[in-house]
Structure 1
Amino acid sequence: MRMEFLELTSLSKSFSGETVLDEVSLSVQEGGTLVLFGKSGAGKTVLLRSIAGAIEPDDGTVVIDGEDVTSVPPEYRGIGMAFQNFALFPHMTAYDNIASSLTSKRMSASEIRTKVDAVAKLLKIEHVLSHAPKALSNGQKQRTALARALVSEPRVLLLDDPLRNVDAKLRFEMRLELPRLLADRGATIIYVTQDYKEAMALGDRIAVLDQGKIVQIGSPDDIYRRPANTQIAQLFGDPTINLLDVVPKEDDRGLHAFLSDQRVDFHGKFPGVAGRDCIVGLRPEALSFTETGGFPVTIEAVTPFNEKTVTLVTTLRGREILLSQPAQDPVPTGPKVNLQIAARDAILFDRETGNRIAPEPDGNRVEEAA
């Protein structure tokens, strides 16, 4: 069983009276990867720099492998860090940039060469080691910065949106390569990104940071299927989740609401929800066309996206809904068609707070009445 290797407790930081980190607490298991996800300005980079020791927190503690390192200088924390802007030394070759952390440890030239060559080969940049940063492409700069962070085999690796400044093709390739690469190094990792696809692909767990606070931590599946609130639900998914206002009612058949005048039953127990202003969240891929049953809609637009087709429909009351389906699945000629809901994928939120309403155990199914 893996132990918690990196632990933050009530970490807080303010600049000029403005709170940037607000009692952030989280932990990462030894060898695990936690993705820190949030919009620009959420406090992600400040949190990484606080862990690294580049910024001193106002309150709270940073513990690595059972040792409180909150007051320990950065060079003694055993941390590697790669930045989104590469931060390479312009007067050094790629080789010297990668070797800089080893040189400071006074390793022998042969040992440094062995380690640099190994990590460069791993990242496929061995052919540009003699080049200055200005002669490197953005992708090569990114890999050089990552190699510098990896070469000293740090106990903790902090990656600050390292793929943000590379082209789309390389970003896609690195999403596939990074999990294997990082697992091979055995480091405990915090990976910062604003890209939900990266977060879903790379993290054992995802921590969502908003205005300096952790608002949800969970597995990628938890974050996607059970988002803590409507804001998080909208950040994960493309096309974005459909959010429709409803006021559930309850009768002898159970809790239900209406879409296009058709009854939708919420199977399970949601105490105190009947008569309450709510929002039902429907992922576009949780909806499908049906010839029988379902609720009626009108097709407004059909947009093909290579591997999928996105269809915009409206309900009888003019509410817009997006539906996503595999490209090979036919779209009805319409315009009048019916939709059905995949029972397990509907999510209920409180309209006033935006928070998800969790059903009692075994009560998280929603399905359309026949």
Structure 2
Amino acid sequence: MTTLQLKNIVKRYKSQTVLDDLTLDVADGERLVLFGPSGAGKTVLLRLVAGVIEPDEGRVLIGGEDMTDVDAEHRGVGMAFQNFALFPHMSAFDNIASPLTATRSSKEKIAAGVQKVAKLLKIDHVLTHHPKALSNGQKQRTALARALVGSPPLLLLDDPLRNVDAKLRFEMRLELPRLLAAQGATVVYVTQDYKEAMALGDRIAVMASGRIRQIGTPQEIYNAPADIEIARLFGDPTINLLDVTPQRSGGDAFVELSNVRVRLGDYGADVVGSPCVIGLRPEAISFVDAAAPGAIPVTVEAETPLNEKTVTLALTARGREILVSRPAGTPGPTAGPAHIAVNGAQAFLFDKTSGALLPRADLAAKRNGEAA
């Protein structure tokens, strides 16, 4: 059983703290995605797990064993880098075979292992080529094959699709989950692409400034972002964020958009009358007839087709911009006066000062198994 446990990891470079008291558990066979902006500390964390660098504080446990002071070659870890890191003087075959060669495997085992993984990644026809003769996509697959060939129990993938073309990136998003599941390894995958994180991760750990800001399934991260910054990172087009002051009517809080009430559910008394930010995913907003219940008047400014969806920019009565997303081919206004409806159940409220997500009392009751 291969688990990964990071306990109170600290890594500093001179006066800069790159990893700040970071603790993380990855289950056996789990695909965990480290997601966050450049400079968050993702690659440093992978290199530390691999044993390329050492922590200043904390421990690294692999399969329950403390590996903090164990050399990289004895950790049983496979790693693929975003810049491929191939040996230029070696053929693709020899690059892939290098982990097996280092363990003095037989020629027969090396040949069989390389052919198997190369066939899976569809690069068996370029095994005699050197890196300079390979396309970026072939280089990426060669680096990934090298990481996979020794069937390492722990696999670290550092944004391996970043430098490949859009078509291959899309294909690999579909193929990688199958390949990694067949490998049976515990996987830590780094990316700055939220779609990739959503597609590949059993769980996502959102990193910023050397800390983990939120960890959960893709659905949990998307449907309950811990703060405004995480909400902004997930979604295309980006989430609508509007300053509001919630009020209460009956048991529910509400806000007003274009002087129309949008009910939000049951929030605590401390939220009512306090400056907040409402978050509305573009797909939680739809165009409706003026006579529909809760119809909010807007002015349509522009429309942009984006392959599978159409995104519309509209203005509220106060001139605030709202993005509305609908499936491509769905009818909708292209300019001038229109009306929208907001699904208040899918709205988020964030604290204006801290940016933290404000919990709904009725949802908390459901999670605790109580009657809502």
Q: TM-score, normalised by structure 2?
A: 0.95
How far the C-alpha of 1:5 sits from its partner, in A, is 0.8
1:362 counterpart SS class: helix
1:158 aligns with 2:156: yes
Letter in 1 for 2:300: I
Q: CA deviation at 1:243?
A: 0.3
CA distance change for structure 1 residues 250 and 363 in 2, over 3 Å: closer, same or farther?
Answer: farther
Amino acid at match of 2:226: A
Alpha-carbon offset, residue 334 of structure 1: 5.2
**1:119-177 per-position Cα deviation (integer Å, ceiling 9, x unaligned):** 00000000000000100000000000000000001010000000000000000000000
Q: CA deviation at 1:4?
A: 7.5
Question: Which of 277, 293, 301 matches 1:279?
Answer: 277
**Cα distance in structure 2, aligned partners of 1:4 and 1:57:** 21
* Cα distance in structure 1, aligned partners of 2:284 and 2:112: 51
Segment of structure 1 superposing worse, 355-364 or 253-262 = 355-364
Residue 97 of structure 2 is matched in structure 1 by 99
Summarize the Cα distance change of 1:70–1:271 in structure 2 as closer, same or farther, 3 Å threshold.
farther
Matched, 1:206 2:204: yes
Determine the structure 2 residue equivalent to 1:18.
16
Report the counterpart of residue 350 of structure 1 in structure 2: 351
Q: Deviations over 1:310-364 (max 9, x none)?
A: 0000000000000010011101255111111123311110010000001124379
Distance 1:253 1:148 in 2: 59
Indicate if the aligned counterparts of 2:301 and 2:335 stay in contact, CA closer than 8 A: no
**What is the match of residue 82 of structure 1?**
80
What amino acid maps onto 1:48 in structure 2?
L
> Residues 344 and 364 of structure 1 are in contact (CA less than 8 Å); yes or no, is this contact kept in structure 2?
no
**1:302 paired to 2:300:** no
Is the partner of 2:287 in helix, strand or coil?
A: strand
Compared CA separation, residues 255 and 24, structure 1 to 2 (3 A): same
Q: Is the CA contact 2:244–2:278 (under 8 Å) kept in the aligned structure 1?
A: yes
Amino acid at match of 2:363: D
Question: Contact 1:268–1:363 (CA<8 Å) still a contact in 2?
Answer: no
The equivalences for 1:288-367 within 5 A come to 288-291=286-289, 292-293=292-293, 294-332=295-333, 335-362=336-363
CA contact (8 A) 1:246 1:280 kept: yes
In the other structure, the counterpart of 1:368 is: none
Q: Does 1:223 align with 2:221?
A: yes
Cα distance in 2, alignment partners of residues 32 and 279 from structure 1: 35
Shift, 1:270, TM fit: 2.6
1:34 Cα offset (Å): 0.3
8 Å CA contact retained: 1:78, 1:155: yes
Name the aligned partner's letter for residue 257 of structure 2. L
The two structures have a TM-score, normalised by structure 1, of: 0.96
CA distance in 2, matches of 1:252, 1:361: 14
Q: CA deviation at 1:254?
A: 3.1
Match of 1:250 in 2: 248
Query: Partner residue of 2:192?
Result: 194
Cα distance in 2 for partners of 1:22, 1:45 equals: 14
Q: Distance in 2 between matches of 1:211 and 1:362?
A: 30
Contact 2:2 2:153 in 1 (8 A): no
Q: Which residue of 1 aligns with 2:36?
A: 38
- Within 1, Cα distance between the matches of 2:13 and 2:35? 22
Structure 1 Cα separation of the partners of residues 149 and 72 of structure 2: 17
Q: Which moved more, 1:36-45 or 1:254-263?
A: 254-263
> In structure 2, what is the Cα distance between the partners aligned to 1:362 and 1:42?
31
Separation in 2, partners of 1:217, 1:18: 24
RMSD (Å), alpha carbons: 1.4
Amino acid at match of 1:306: N
Task: For residue 37 of structure 2, give the secondary structure of its aligned residue in structure 1.
Answer: coil
Q: Which moved more, 1:288-297 or 1:178-187?
A: 288-297
Residue 133 (structure 2) aligned to one of 132, 135, 139: 135
Structure 2: tracts of 5 or more residues without a match: 367-372
Per-residue deviation, 1:257:
1.3
1:261 and 2:259 aligned = yes
For residues 150 and 268 of structure 2, what CA distance do their matches in structure 1 show? 52
Cα 1:142–1:4 shift into 2, 3 Å: closer
Pairwise CA distance, 1:256: 1.4
C-alpha separation in 2, matches of 1:328 and 1:364: 39
CA distance in 2 between counterparts of 1:203 and 1:302 reads 33
